[in-house]
Amino acid sequence: MPFDPERYSRQVRFTPLGAAGQERLAAACVAVVGCGALGSVVAMTLVRAGIGRMRIIDRDVPEASNLPRQFLFDEADVAARLPKAVAAARHLERINGACAIEPIVADLTAVNVTRMLSGVDLLVDGTDNFEARFLVNEFACREGIPWVHGGAIGAEGRVLSVLPGTTACLRCLIPEAPAPGALPTCDTAGVLGPAALVVGAVEAAEAIKILAGQHERVGNRLLVCDLWDNLWRSVDLAPLAVRGCPTCREGDFPWLEGRAGTQATVLCGRDAVQVAPTAGAALELGALATRMAGVGTVVANPWIVRVTVEEGIELAVFADGRTIVSGTRDEARARALVARYVGN
Ligand SMILES: [Zn+2]
């Protein structure tokens, strides 16, 4: 695959990449799953680096509260209410016209994951929830496709590169996905732009190494950083291999097969969608109510926590893990709201 030698001269002069590595980038296809804070940085960095093709999958539209950390978008995108995948593609095409960008406006689920993610050389995590990450992890392990996981919350970040069959996978690191509502999210705990920039940049660097064929540069490690406390460390994951892994070692794929995850249902005769965990879950409502207090006025009892998160949108979270999102009949939007405010 030819590339413009002048445009990429400074990357080619970096000898560990060289012309051979640049050629591999130009021939590569990457899927960026989720184009918010992390996805923006990764997509922009890889398109600038001369990737050949990129698929961008996102279910959301840009909002003003995204702009401090979602670096691809601007006020005109917020005003236009274009889906993030489409707005991102327009910006990226202006950055590099030689890169073929395929925007997909969709909610990644067990039903569509194979169609969405097939035919790429690498998957990059730009999502904000564990449900999507476990789906991507299982798809990557089943198909033998490398993927790069990243996460940022507050001023903290973490990055894990997964080379199926060689390094630890996400389930090696997190054997049981957290129950819905068990952890803070960026929308309840906040997040700083620099944390997204750092995590997105590290994800992009990992992607470039993998696509250039230099898997030995990736290692079997989890990077953890905290920009507020100036903490940087990298954790060796080789010891995890001792305890085995149902997914990457034994081929167990509960998320791909719909045995784990959530299901969204429009409630008959109501302007509401129910998002329920497939397997059921016991939820600690008291802690959730405390985390939600910064979002809006919380009304809580031992069975339900209610909070109005946006104008006209109320979430009612039940102790069995279900959430009823009132004010929409759009399943993808309801799932996005639950991922943002409850966490799944
Ligand atoms: Zn594993």
CATH of residue 290: 3.30.310
**Reported confidence tier of residue 91, pLDDT bands at 50, 70, 90:** very high
DSSP state of 154: B
Please give the distance, rounded to the nearest whole angstrom, from the Cα atom of residue 241 to the centre of ligand 1. Answer: 8
Question: Sheet harboring 262-266: ordered strands across?
Answer: 262-266, 272-277, 323-326, 313-318, 304-310, 298-300
- Cα separation, 209 vs 5, in Å, equals 19
Structural domain boundaries enclosing 21: 9-243
- Cα separation, 321 vs 312, in Å, equals 22
- Cα separation, 52 vs 68, in Å, equals 29
Please give the distance, rounded to the nearest whole angstrom, from the Cα atom of residue 113 to the centre of ligand 1. Answer: 19
Please give the distance, rounded to the nearest whole angstrom, from the Cα atom of residue 106 to the centre of ligand 1. Answer: 27
Please give the distance, rounded to the nearest whole angstrom, from the Cα atom of residue 244 to the centre of ligand 1. Answer: 7
DSSP state of 145: -
DSSP state of 259: S
Query: What's phi and psi for 58, nearest 5 deg?
Result: -155, 150
Domain boundary among 193, 212, 243: 243
Please give the distance, rounded to the nearest whole angstrom, from the Cα atom of residue 127 to the centre of ligand 1. Answer: 19
Please give the distance, rounded to the nearest whole angstrom, from the Cα atom of residue 177 to the centre of ligand 1. Answer: 13
Please give the distance, rounded to the nearest whole angstrom, from the Cα atom of residue 240 to the centre of ligand 1. Answer: 9
Secondary structure class of 161 (helix, strand, coil): strand
Please give the distance, rounded to the nearest whole angstrom, from the Cα atom of residue 14 to the centre of ligand 1. Answer: 33
Please give the distance, rounded to the nearest whole angstrom, from the Cα atom of residue 26 to the centre of ligand 1. Answer: 30
Looking at residue 203, its pLDDT comes to 98
Same domain for 149 and 59: yes
Please give the distance, rounded to the nearest whole angstrom, from the Cα atom of residue 126 to the centre of ligand 1. Answer: 20
**Reported confidence tier of residue 217, pLDDT bands at 50, 70, 90:** very high
Least Cα distance to 165 among 277, 230, 241 occurs for 241
Same domain for 192 and 122: yes
CB atoms within 10 A of CB 229: 9
Same domain for 216 and 298: no
Please give the distance, rounded to the nearest whole angstrom, from the Cα atom of residue 138 to the centre of ligand 1. Answer: 9
DSSP state of 69: T
Looking at residue 327, its pLDDT comes to 95
pTM, full prediction: 0.91
Same domain for 222 and 97: yes
Average pLDDT of span 92-111: 96
The total of structural domains in the chain comes to 2
